[in-house]
Structures are given as C-alpha cells and as structure tokens.
Amino acid sequence: MIVTTTHLEQRDRSELVPARPPSVPVSVTRVEDVAPEFGRFLYTAVGGDWHWRDRLGWTLRQWTEQLSRPGSETWVAWVRGAPAGYIELDGVAHDDGTHTEIAYFGLLPRHIGLGLGGHLLAHGIGQAWSLHERGDGLPAVTRVWVHTCTLDGPHALANYRARGLREYATTEAEEDVPAVPPGPWPGAR
C-alpha cells in the first residue's frame, strides 16, 4: 500500500489557533509519574484502529526509557473520570533551540466526534511551546512539529491544519500494511 506522510510545523507560538470548546466537560492533565503501562495502554487504545504498530513489541524497559527521557511528556484528556485521549510530546535540543515533536496524538474511539480532538491538540501544542519551562535543561522552544499519514484518523490532517500547523514536506512510500488494524489488544477484533 502507498502511504502518504505529511510533515507540519509551527515556528512561533503565535501561530497556534485555538479550538472551539468540546461538547462535553473535559480536563487535560500531565502524567508526571512515568507510567509505562499507562503509556502503552494509551498507545494501543488510541492507535489500535489506525495501524499504530511501531511500539507494539516494545518491552517495559523500552517504554520506561522513552517516557522518562528529558523532554518527554504525556498529557491526557479526561472525561467523566476516564481517559479520552492523549498527546505525547518529545522535545529535543538543537542549535537553534528545542524542537518539540508531537510524537503521538489521538482519542479513544468512543470519544471521537465530541470536539475533544481540537481542544486536546490546541492544549498540547500550547504545552509543546512551553516544554522548556518545566525543566530538563532544554533551551527555549523554537519549533513544534508533527507528521501524520494516510493510516491515521481521517480528520487528523485537517485538525493539525486548523490548529495553525503548516505543511513543509510530503512523502510517499510503499508499506506492507495489514488489511485490518491490530485493534487495542490482541484478539480484540
């Protein structure tokens, strides 16, 4: 299957476009205690329907190392006490400042269509721009970026554009993709 990947970025915090309020009450909080089991849960619960496979084989140690890296943050949207979605940030220092990648972003399936995606993404981009203010010794953030592909949710690219991220590159590659996404856990389908 040909997979198209679109790379988007913001170079200034002023480019962030707020989202309309969601249709349900939501709170967004940072996971401050490294919780690899919770990180894996979010990854599979959100990405299972979108062919997210690159971390499925990771060990507990790999999850712990990734989530405890300086500049790594996970922010979770909560609706009525349950996780509704998340955004994982990954800041890396460069010569011109910190570049913060939106490494993963999405909603659990039952929360799609409630206006949460735009709200969570806007909140996450705001946190991406202030990543250096929370320690880890990173320089000021000069760039927030993300890539999305045709295997992601059908509204992902439009949401990124609506929040003020601009495309800077598009690539196409042949990938061996299973006909059916893996689902949130083995045997879920």
What's the pTM? 0.93
- pLDDT tens column, 23-62: 999 999 999 988 999 999 999 999 988 888 889 999 999 9
CB of 7 closer than 8 Å to CB of 169: yes
Tokens, residue 55? 């971390």
How far is CA 177 from its chain centroid? 21
- pLDDT tens column, 62-81: 999 999 999 999 999 999 99
pLDDT band at 93 (very low <50, low <70, confident <90, very high): very high
Residue 32 counted as domain residue: yes
Beta strands in 31-152 (DSSP E): 72-79, 82-94, 97-107, 141-149
> What are the C-alpha distances in Å from 34 to residues 55, 79, 89, 126?
17, 21, 13, 21
Tokens, residue 7? 């790379």
Q: How many degrees, rounded to 5, is the angle at CA 70 between CA 68 and CA 73?
A: 65
- pLDDT tens column, 94-111: 999 999 999 999 999 999
Domain range spanning residue 101? Answer: 2-174
Residue 179 counted as domain residue: no
Residue 49 counted as domain residue: yes
Residue 185 counted as domain residue: no
Residue 104 counted as domain residue: yes
Query: 169: domain CATH number?
Result: 3.40.630.30
Report how far residue 57's alpha carbon sits from residue 151's, in angstroms, rounded to the nearest whole number: 19
- pLDDT tens column, 129-171: 999 999 778 999 999 999 999 988 889 999 999 999 999 999 9
Give how many domains the chain has, as a whole number: 1
